[in-house]
Chains A and B, each alone.
Chain A
């Protein structure tokens, strides 16, 4: 029930395309859904996050869509650029005993070709 399922495992798009990464969860205790971007050899960095009372959040070229009833959320990258090539992790978390218990998805390796 703690699992967060992420797809696809890898994705190749052309510059300007709109890659979409999907995640699904089971545990209704999750109340915070961040997306992390990780470049090779670096730690994950928070990209954008959403709470379940909002159906969509947009920051720059990055948009999260959230479907609470389906327990699914997705990341869209508008006008993708080669610099967006990275691994993207969705995550889901809830507060437990004073800390955020975070469950990560399995990651999507995105390649944006010029």
Chain B
């Protein structure tokens, strides 16, 4: 039944070592979002795709990149993770006719 699936649920990476988080959806939504959520804070939008069009938030660091090879999948690449990048990363989707965003369970990233 899961509609937005994130893998892995928990990821431990070394300081400076590239890491990729993945998201897949079964909703056929054309918009996919990546959010960063730090402890006790609101989710913060990093970027989103509208179909293949990539839209970066102005304050998203260059260290964060994304790929969307097809409608169903989206990846978040962190090129050189720092200790400050430890957070929950949330993927969400929405469709043209939807006003709501559907979130995945998130990936908890730990940087050591």
Contact = CB atoms under 8 A, between A and B. Distances in A.
A41 B90 contact: no
B43 interface: yes
A100 B41 CA distance: 21
B94 A34 contact: no
The interface size bin for chain A is: 20 to 34
A43 B90 CA distance: 7
A70 to B, nearest CB: 22
Interface residues of B, number: 27
A73 interface: no
A108 B33 CA distance: 23
A95 B97 CA distance: 11
**A interface SS class:** strand
**B4, B43, B98, B108: which has the most chain A beta carbons within 10 Å?**
B43
A43 B50 contact: no
Contact of A44 (B40, B43, B50): B43
A45 B6 CA distance: 15
Interface in B1-50: 4, 6, 30-31, 33, 40-43, 45, 48, 50
A90 B106 CA distance: 19
B42 A43 contact: no
B70 interface: no
A18 B94 CA distance: 32
A23 B103 CA distance: 21
A65 interface: no
A113 interface: no
B83 interface: no
B31 A98 contact: yes
Interface of A: 32, 34, 36, 41-46, 49, 89, 93, 95, 97-100, 102, 104-107, 109
8 contacts: A43-B92, A43-B106, A45-B103, A99-B33, A100-B98, A102-B101, A105-B42, A107-B41
